[in-house]
Structure 1
Amino acid sequence: MDEVWVLLQGIALGFAIAAPVGPIGLLCIRRTLQHGPLMGFFTGFGAAVADTIYGAIAAFGVSAALSFLRGHETAFQLIGGIFLLVVAVRTFRQQPDAEEREAAAAPDTKSWFTGFMTGLSLTLTNPATIMAFIAIFAGFGLGGTLNRLEASTLVLGVFIGSSLWWMTLSMGVAAVRHRISDRGLTMLNHCTGVALGAFGLWALGMAATGLAGMA
């Protein structure tokens, strides 16, 4: 299989998996509006790194890692659900102010790192991500049929595609952020907090179902 074609497939897969609006997408949009495009991008970039890790597991067919993830799916859902609820509450309660707008013009490295770790942690604790990669790879006949070079190229493509989506989203939102008032940002915080809370409750519900099944 031609490596260029494998790279293009990886880019398409990474973009497609990152694009649906979920918890990270909502955080990326809100943080871009409130703290600037770099903060939004680094939040998504954390998710891109997590996507790459899970993509590598699926591409190389690491059976031990797959077994561990499947065997601890309930624990991941529990941790991810709690984490999402914490982020949801903080997001809902946060009020935009003049200092934050000034900080958005020159956010510090610590803020970027915080955004990166949030995106990374939320995506790594979402077992649906690895399952999505496995299903898509199987559907396209990828994964176990690839040699090491092709698998590495595919994973690189996933990283590029996912990162490209987060850059596109953060830059697109940044283009309109100055048109949104503080009241609009407050409403966005409330809506994002409610949506994140819903995702968190869904994850906890799935975890509870899993625990009930093991009882």
Structure 2
Amino acid sequence: MDASFYFKGFLLGLAIAAPVGPIGVLCIRRTIASGRLVGLLSGIGAATADACFGSIAAFGLTVIAHFLLDQRIWLQTFGGLFLVFLAARTWRSAGAADAAKLGKSNRLFGAYGSTFVLTLTNPMTILSFISMFAGIGLTSGDPWQAFSIVLGVFSGSAFWWLLLSVCIGSFQEKMDRKAFIWVDHLSAVVIFGFAIVSLYHVFNKLL
């Protein structure tokens, strides 16, 4: 493994994960509602999807990249509608702990799978990875460099979600039911806002 490219990938992973978006809101809400592990797995799902996109860019899998980019309208439409669904479910379940409604294994799998799928609906991330990898000097065709930087991207992203879930989880025990309801309603509104923005961009591309 190339340590220098791993470190560069780690920083890229941090930079990609840190900006607040729908995944961040979901991670925060789920950490508060269901605990640190559920919040962390929500973030790890996104980190896994980022690693998949990073692998496509780093290993030069152009056939897969072109296919995903060609389908970006449909993928982004699905992503926007999925956000609407998540917003509605969050609003309806305001104040109710997820643990009371689902078994532990289903809850953990759902937390991971939902953010993994949601992140995959934005294939334009591949182009971002291609430009970033070129900017840090990734040599096309070098498998060790590619492996190192993808592992670094996943590690950096996962570290951010771990840090976020641990910090947010410290507030969980201090909140009463009214606070939980407020957090759920706010999360639902923010997620719905991201959905509207996403679907608006898709509508503009279709015009």
Normalised by the length of structure 2, the TM-score is 0.92
Q: 5 Å matches for 1:57-206?
A: 57-97=56-96, 100=97, 103=99, 108-142=104-138, 144-145=139-140, 147-206=142-201
Residue 40 (1) aligns with residue 39 (2): yes
Q: By how many angstroms is 1:179 displaced?
A: 1.4
CA deviations 1:154-207 (Å, max 9, x no partner) are 111111111111111111111121112221221111111111111111111111
* Structure 2: distance between partners of 1:133 and 1:58: 6
Determine the structure 1 residue equivalent to 2:10.
Answer: 11
Q: Name the aligned partner's letter for residue 190 of structure 1.
A: H
Residue 146 of structure 1 deviates from its aligned partner by 5.5
Q: Structure 2: which 5+ runs fail to align?
A: none
SS for the counterpart of 2:188 is helix
Task: Look up the equivalent residue of 1:210 and give its one-letter code.
Answer: K
When the two structures are aligned, how many residues end up with a matched partner? 205
The 2-side partners of 1:134 and 1:174 are apart by 35
Q: Deviations over 1:89-108 (max 9, x none)?
A: 111222224xx38x48xx71
CA distance in 1, matches of 2:86, 2:114: 9
In the alignment, the residues of structure 2 paired with residue 133 and residue 198 of structure 1 have an alpha-carbon distance, to the nearest angstrom, of 26
The SS at the match of 1:195 is: helix
CA RMSD, 1 decimal: 1.8
5+ residue gaps, structure 1, are none
Shift of 1:77: 1.0
CA-to-partner distance for each residue in 1:91-127, whole Å, 9 max, x for gaps? 1222224xx38x48xx712110000011101100123
Residue 30 of structure 1: aligned partner: 29
In 2, the alpha carbon distance for the partners of 1:16 and 1:94 equals 32
Q: Distance in 2 between matches of 1:132 and 1:93?
A: 36
CA distance in 1, matches of 2:162, 2:141: 29
Is the Cα–Cα contact under 8 Å of residues 74 and 206 in structure 1 kept in the other structure? Answer: no
- Percent identity over the alignment? 39
CA shift at 1:75, angstroms?
A: 1.1
List, as ranges, runs of 4+ consecutive aligned residues in structure 1 with deviation greater than 3 Å: none
CA contact (8 A) 2:59 2:140 kept: no
CA–CA separation in structure 2 for the residues paired with 1:134 and 1:181:
46
**CA contact 1:91–1:189 (8 Å) conserved in 2:** yes
CA distance in 2, matches of 1:129, 1:199: 17
